[in-house]
């Protein structure tokens, strides 16, 4: 009987020693373990020996630096992701200078270019865009509509019948508006449909349109717009490489080269403009904007020129 009790005590000491190796303060008394002031029944040391590796592995997991490229088995690979963590998008409209890569039609690296923040990073205001577009569309109307008044319409001026005695309504001419072939009353005459818009508002609208394209990642800068030949397939091949693009606007600094004109004249979804002709409405009609380095410099110079009052 005494031998069996001594064996039980030794077993309890062995199990408690295994707990002590795991870092918990343990004492034994009367066949029970005393852990942190609480009496717990003793367990066979073999059980703790089996689970010791599990606890040690958990401790190792809790102190390891976990990266997707870890290959030493520090963390199960099925719990890690290979996706790149997306960085927060920059805040738009802080007038910060933007650094953008410069390429060409052959996708060659031509360095980088700094875009002025006061031109390409201004706050987006839809009301300014609406006012500028209304001004553009109103100003480009021809206003040549015209109708003839009673003095301009062809026909005699004789009184059709006498004033009284016929039983009919009295009339003084057959060229009135109530007769077929007669005049048009209050009809349109040639006039200008242009509305007034301050120059600083027009300039701000162009800045907002450029800033919107830059914020969307739809603004690209080329070293130049030179192409190898006038073949349309050169432009079509480049357009097919672009993603999420339905219409493309090319903006060059000076006069458009003859090769570029011939290459784009038969492609309805690609248009070319000189920098002096860049406007808000054209930018909105095209979802992707490609500007040459010279065009960017000329636009920035134009935006920084004082307004003549």
CB environment 4-34: b (16+ within 10 A), e (fewer): eeeeeeebbebbbebbeeeeeebebeeeebe
Indicate the pLDDT class of residue 30, thresholds 50, 70 and 90: very low
CB 289 within 8 A of CB 283: yes
Instruction: Calculate mean pLDDT across residues 246-273.
Output: 92
Instruction: Calculate mean pLDDT across residues 243-254.
Output: 91
Q: What is the pLDDT of residue 91?
A: 81
Residue 61, pLDDT above cutoff 50:
no
Q: What is the pLDDT of residue 281?
A: 96
Higher local confidence (pLDDT), 252 or 39: 252
Q: What is the pLDDT of residue 53?
A: 54
Residue 290, pLDDT above cutoff 80:
yes
pTM above 0.75, yes or no: no
Q: State the average pLDDT for the chain.
A: 79
Residue 244, pLDDT above cutoff 50:
yes
CB 193 within 8 A of CB 139: yes
CA–centroid distance for 19 within its chain: 60
Domain extents in the chain: 98-140+196-304, 144-191
Domain 98-140+196-304, CATH 3.40.1370.10 — does that match? yes
CA–centroid distance for 218 within its chain: 7
Lowest-confidence pick of 21-25, 222-226, 245-249, 301-305: 21-25
Q: What is the pLDDT of residue 89?
A: 66
Lowest-confidence pick of 74-78, 187-191, 279-283: 74-78
223: closest CA among 87, 112, 90?
A: 112
Instruction: Calculate mean pLDDT across residues 182-202.
Output: 95
Q: What is the pLDDT of residue 68?
A: 47
* pLDDT tens per residue across span 212-225: 999 999 999 999 99
CA–centroid distance for 184 within its chain: 51
């Amino acid at each position: 009987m005494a031998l069996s009790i001594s064996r039980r005590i030794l077993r309890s000491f062995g199990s408690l020693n295994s707990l002590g190796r795991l870092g918990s303060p343990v004492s034994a008394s009367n066949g029970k373990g005393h852990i942190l002031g609480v009496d717990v029944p003793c367990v066979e040391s073999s059980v703790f020996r089996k689970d010791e590796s599990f606890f040690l592995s958990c401790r190792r997991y809790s102190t390891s630096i976990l990266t997707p490229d870890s290959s030493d088995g520090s963390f199960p690979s099925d719990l890690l992701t290979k996706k790149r963590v997306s960085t927060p998008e920059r805040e738009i409209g802080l007038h910060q200078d933007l650094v953008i890569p410069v390429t060409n039609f052959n996708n060659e690296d031509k360095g980088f270019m700094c875009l002025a923040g006061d031109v390409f990073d201004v706050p987006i205001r839809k009301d300014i865009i609406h006012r500028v577009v209304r001004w553009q569309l109103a100003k480009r109307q021809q206003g040549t509509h015209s109708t003839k008044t009673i003095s301009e319409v062809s026909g005699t001026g004789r009184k059709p019948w006498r004033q009284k005695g016929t039983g009919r309504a009295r009339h003084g001419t057959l060229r009135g508006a109530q007769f077929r072939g007669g005049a048009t009353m209050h009809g349109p005459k040639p006039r200008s449909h242009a509305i007034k818009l301050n120059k600083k508002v027009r300039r701000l609208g162009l800045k907002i349109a450029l800033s919107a394209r830059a914020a969307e990642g739809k603004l690209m800068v080329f070293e130049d717009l030179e192409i190898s030949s006038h073949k349309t397939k050169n432009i079509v091949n480049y357009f097919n490489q672009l993603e999420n693009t339905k219409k493309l606007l090319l903006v060059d600094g000076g006069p458009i080269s003859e090769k570029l004109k011939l290459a784009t004249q038969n492609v309805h979804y690609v248009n070319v403009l000189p920098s002096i002709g860049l406007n808000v409405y054209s930018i909105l009609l095209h979802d992707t904007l490609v500007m040459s380095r010279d065009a960017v410099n000329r636009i920035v110079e134009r935006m920084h020129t004082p307004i003549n009052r």
